[in-house]
Amino acid sequence: MNRLFISLFIISFLFVDIPAKAGISPKALQKIKADIEKQIPALKESLIKEGLNKDHIDFSLDTFRIEHITDKRLELDNSPIAVKATLHDMIFDYDKLMNKYFNKLLKLLSEDDKISLTTAQKAWIAYRDTEEQLINTLSKQQYSGGGAEQSIISISIYADLIENRAITIFDYYNDIVQEE
């Protein structure tokens, strides 16, 4: 759903001249978060009824918050500056979530298996950093035409990378805790 909104906003930049704004106010962001928090109890109840374990419920609620805060922020302000700020916050939140479940997963593993996980994560970080360099290179004026649209597309691609790794790390963790 989030990717659909981002794609629509990117397309709108191509056809509409949107005046740049400074982004949404802290008060507006606080209201968005409060409105989303009101939805959490019902969602949590439905996830419990599905029979999900506590960690899966927590992860689902965390991702719900991230995605819905992102969507609402983009609905309120889709100026290039605001979209970039929103995507950067989304990246930060997914990175934090990834680290949370990486550390939980690490605690479940034997000493030898911890080495495998940390080696894999270091390799993924190297891949992420190299991929970011490639994304930035390909978004240069000479290859993409540059502009605000291209920088938003680049940030969106990078955001997908972080989000997908957070989900993968959680899935590794959840597979183990479901077996216990």
The ranges assigned to domains in the chain are 2-179
SS3 content of the chain, % helix, strand, coil (to 5): 85, 0, 15
For residue 113, give the DSSP letter: H
In this predicted structure, the answer to whether residue 13 has a pLDDT above a threshold of 50 is: no
Q: What percent of the chain has pLDDT over 70?
A: 88
Cα dist. 137→13, 48, 132, 149, 151 in Å? 21, 45, 8, 15, 11
Q: What is the mean pLDDT of residues 122-136?
A: 97
Residue type, 141: Q
Q: Looking up tokens 């659909």, which residue turns up?
A: 4
Closest to 17 measured CA to CA, from 58, 67, 78: 78
Give Cβ neighbours of residue 14 (< 8 Å, ≥ 6 apart): 149
Q: What is the mean pLDDT of residues 97-125?
A: 98
In this predicted structure, the answer to whether residue 14 has a pLDDT above a threshold of 90 is: no
Q: What's the whole-model pTM score?
A: 0.85
| Calpha distance 117→32 (Å, rounded) | 36
- The angle formed by the CA atoms of residues 64, 31 and 92, to the nearest 5 degrees, is 45
> What was the pLDDT predicted at 145?
83
Report residue 32: phi and psi, to 5°: -55, -50
Q: Looking up tokens 């993968």, which residue turns up?
A: 168
Residue-wise pLDDT for 30-48, tens only, equals 999 999 999 999 999 999 9
